[in-house]
């Protein structure tokens, strides 16, 4: 699954928060699109983006499979070139290439700025100018990459397990591909 994919192994955090959100939503909206794990991840991404707000399209459904090999093939590792990976999923826009990694970097070092860093923009070093707008546009585009909708996929009863495995009692063997 993506949780244990090489690029995420011991680095992706927040899956427990997604599981808690799903557990809180499920009793109010049992097995409905409004509580799909895919929607929860998308909304959580918007809420945790550091103050940026955008309309998050909902109605996505969850995958009925989880495959670590597929995740390893498509999740970029730290040493992969982003341009190649973005092009592989139709995100060849240079704005996407700059905005998404830059926001990730900003969030990771916002309180740990070393004194040795030199501003690349001497005119407005503390202003991202059009960055935030570009970041939102890139997030919306990535959220629209091959979403499962309608009768495709499923609404998982537990974000960490595909429903067929949950029903078969195999919930300890397979975790989600979210």
Which residues fall in the annotated binding site? 2, 76
> How far is it, in rounded angstroms, from Cα 49 to Cα 84?
25
Which residues fall in the annotated binding site for substrate? 76
Question: What Rg value do the Cα atoms of the chain yield, rounded?
Answer: 18
Tell me if 151 sits within 8 A of 11, measured CB to CB: no
> How far is it, in rounded angstroms, from Cα 67 to Cα 156?
16
User: 157: closest CA among 56, 8, 36, 16?
Assistant: 36
**Angle value at C-alpha 49, between 102 and 42, nearest 5 degrees:** 110
User: Tokens in use for 146?
Assistant: 């091959």
Which residues fall in the annotated binding site for Ca(2+)? 2
3-state secondary structure of 148: strand
DSSP for residue 29: S
DSSP for residue 2: G
3-state secondary structure of 161: strand
């Amino acid at each position: 699954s993506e949780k244990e994919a090489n690029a995420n192994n011991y680095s992706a955090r927040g899956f427990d928060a997604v599981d808690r959100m799903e557990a809180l939503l499920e009793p109010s909206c049992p097995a409905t699109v409004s509580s799909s794990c895919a929607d929860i991840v998308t909304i959580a991404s918007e809420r945790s983006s550091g103050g940026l707000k955008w309309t998050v399209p909902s109605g996505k459904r969850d995958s009925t499979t989880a495959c670590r090999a597929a995740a390893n093939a498509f999740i970029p590792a730290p040493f992969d070139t982003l341009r190649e990976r973005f092009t592989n999923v139709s995100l060849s826009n240079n704005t996407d290439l700059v905005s998404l990694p830059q926001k990730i970097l900003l969030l990771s070092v916002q309180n740990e700025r070393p004194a040795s860093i030199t501003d690349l923009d001497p005119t407005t070093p503390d202003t991202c100018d059009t960055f935030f707008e570009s970041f939102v546009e890139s997030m919306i585009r990535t959220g629209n990459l091959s979403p499962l909708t309608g009768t495709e996929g499923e609404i998982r009863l537990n974000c960490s397990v595909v429903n067929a495995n949950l029903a078969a009692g195999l919930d300890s063997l397979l975790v989600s591909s979210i």
